[in-house]
Structures are given as C-alpha cells and as structure tokens.
Amino acid sequence: MEAGDLIQAFGEDQSRWNAVQELSQIVAGKEPGRSNTDQITLFKSNGIATWDLAAAVRVYEMAVARGMGQPIPIWQSKK
C-alpha cells in the first residue's frame, strides 16, 4: 500500500490487490512466482538505496569467495 502509483492503477479492485506478492516471499519460496511468460512481473522500489547497496555488497562478496566474475577497471590510478 506504500506505492501510490499502484493505488491509482488498482483503485478499489480487490482482485488486483489479492494478486500482489512480496518479492521476498517469492524468493524465499513461500509464494509462487510467475507460472508462464504471459504473466507480468512488476517491481516497485520504494527508494531504500541502503538496502540495494547492502545486497550488492553481499552478492559481490559471494562472487569473490566463489571465484566468479571478472574485475572491471572502473577507476585506474594514473602513475
């Protein structure tokens, strides 16, 4: 209910609200995700950038620990 744009789109149509699933519940396997490619996935970010950063750091740490990925030289020191 925090997302104003969904409130405008869904209005008082309770059947549309009943179809909304939390991403965390889907990832945890507690709720089903899409069952076919005709279904739409909508992600509404509520602007919690610190959560995004924390998740990115964790994914990076896991990739390094598993020897995955490759370095990308974004900032190169000029000597």
- In tens, the pLDDT along 49-61 reads 888 888 889 989 9
What gap in Å lies between CA 42 and CA 38, rounded to an integer? 13
CA distance 2 to 46: 8
Task: Assess if residue 35 is contained within a domain.
Answer: yes
The answer to whether residue 12 sits within a structural domain is yes
Per-residue pLDDT at 14 exceeds 90:
no
54 vs 63: CA distance, rounded Å: 14
Q: Does any domain span residue 70? A: no
Which residues constitute the domain of residue 40? 4-65
User: How does the average pLDDT of the chain come out, rounded?
Assistant: 81
Give the CA distances from residue 15 to residues 9, 18, 19, 32, 40, in Å, rounded to whole numbers and listed in that order: 12, 5, 7, 17, 15
Whether 77 maps to a domain, the answer reads no
Residue 46 lies in a domain: yes
Q: How many domains does one find in the chain?
A: 1
Q: Is residue 79 part of a domain?
A: no
> pTM of the predicted model, to two decimals?
0.44
